[in-house]
Amino acid sequence: MKNNHRQDQLERFFQHNPIEDPLYLKKYVKEHPDHKMAWYLLGREYAAQGKEGKAAYCFAQSGEIYEAFERQKITIEGPLPSSPSAASKTAKNAEMTSRVRGKGKWMPLLVLLLLLAVPAAIDSAKNAVPSEAAKANPSKDASALAVMKPDQTQGDSAVPGTKLYFSEGDFGKKLQQVLVSSSSSAGESVIMQAPRSADGKWIEWNRSVNPLLSVTSDGGGGSSSALKYYQPQICSCQIADSSALVPVIDQWMKDREQAIVLQSAMKAYQAKTGSLPETADQLSKPYPDNLLPGLTLELQELFPQTLKLLKADAAKPGQPQETKPLEGQAQANQGAKEVTGPSSSQPKASSDPLREPLRIMIDTDKHVLALVSGDKIIRSYPVGLGGEKTPQGDFIISEKVRNPNGKSNGEFGSRGMTLSDTLYAIHGTNKPSSIGKDESHGCVRMQQADIEELYDMVTHQTKVTIGKGILPEPGSGEGGGSPGSGAGRGKPDQSFGLPLKTNDSNPGKKYKWLD
């Protein structure tokens, strides 16, 4: 009953999201004047509006919460005013509010941090006391707030039962999921995100997916939730070591990439034949029906589940053409993935940020080819083009061939993919110095490692768009770091690859693409 009560409270709170409805906070502090978290959030709202006096009053009411999250003492000269309006005339703590201003874009995440620091429900928070003392002398004042300071974190190792939440900027939704989930299940919940491109239009999966923060709960609706912070922009505190999470997130990314490759291939088969494949080997037939060169064991095991998903989706008239989690993947739809360790490849639940079929975009201004799913850039490759000779518009991959013209080191390299039955193609090259230049007769040239990875990830029927200025500049997005360009997201030894289980060469044909 206690857990159900907490969940009901959380859901009621989110019906009045303070980010979308700041007036709700004013009403809330009137009804709950001892609720320091609400005072702090209201102070942040006033600070963002430049109302320093009102902000100072609210921060003073929030007490140790302000000190914990702003890492400084509250100093207000003179007696504390009795109301926010009076505070605007007497408060002089401009330094305090100046630090708050300018963090608006992290406000949703701040709400997350504050709420996660509350071990019980919003309306049933307890006094802040050391954990050992709390066990020995539980507080009788249920109206005060228990605060875990940012540097009070537990060990940094990833433990069994870790759940991964991929944020696409929807911190409010992830907040609700984490809080509701942690109230009933023990373990660590990690919120991750990938950087956005400089123009804000793309999520650059190819660059990195990094942990933002995590909360570890005992799952009993109980006494504490431990926070860890992994990025300096969300906390003025000591940043936790995320090295234990790196292999977990890497494996999760590989799983998601394999899943979207399989789903895209099955939809391509459907577009080509009029029906979904009934067996996995139908996806790796010999040339010219070679959608994929072969399937890994993981993809073979995933095939029945994916087939059921696509059939269920097709049975719903008017549904958008994107994959939806199966009924048994309720947590997947909520964005959580439970893992048992770095080597776990098939979790009990998984998030599906890669929902739309893979497609190729080629920017002739930047000489970049990107493999995308929706607004997520999965791979980004430098390419060689032909200037005005390279056609612009929409195409599909109509043919895939290994070792065109019978060799892997010829003018077309080791792989080639024809565009809409024309003499234009995406292929390798024996002139790697031409990458990034306009030296072809219209085709798209790629480095060998890059074309071999792309060949394994896309199928016949994959949409290809060629145009000017349609992709962001590689590596120019937020956060800096690696541009994630090339095979394996810049790490060729980690390239996506499929086993060869069919004959996808065509030695009897002489290819005359416009190299």
Distance in angstroms (rounded) separating the CA atoms of residues 345 and 251: 7
Catalytic member of 35, 235, 367, 427: 427
Q: Which residue has the tokens 């002089």?
A: 92
User: Token digits for 44?
Assistant: 């942040």
The Cα-based distances of 321 to 165, 355, 357 in angstroms read: 24, 9, 8
Distance in angstroms (rounded) separating the CA atoms of residues 52 and 76: 12
235 is catalytic: no
User: Token digits for 131?
Assistant: 């954990």
Q: Label the pairing between strands 376-382 and 368-373.
A: antiparallel
Residue 312: CA count within 13 A, CB half-sphere:
12
* CA-angle at 338, arms to 334 and 341, nearest 5°: 155
Nearest-CA neighbor of 515 among 406, 407, 420, 404? 404
Tell me if 294 sits within 8 A of 284, measured CB to CB.
Answer: yes
Tell me if 487 sits within 8 A of 294, measured CB to CB.
Answer: no
Distance in angstroms (rounded) separating the CA atoms of residues 297 and 501: 12
User: Token digits for 348?
Assistant: 């009990």
267-301: b or e for each residue (b if 16 or more CB lie within 10 Å)?
bbbeeeeeeebeebebbbbebebbbbbbbeeebee
Tell me if 433 sits within 8 A of 413, measured CB to CB.
Answer: no
Q: Which residue has the tokens 């291939």?
A: 265
User: Token digits for 189?
Assistant: 């919940």
Catalytic member of 35, 235, 367, 443: 443
Alpha helices in 191-296 (DSSP H): 246-273
- Which helix or strand (DSSP H or E) is residue 150 part of? none
443 is catalytic: yes
Distance in angstroms (rounded) separating the CA atoms of residues 223 and 217: 9
What three-state secondary structure class fits 381? strand
Distance in angstroms (rounded) separating the CA atoms of residues 113 and 110: 5
Which of the residues are catalytic? 427, 443
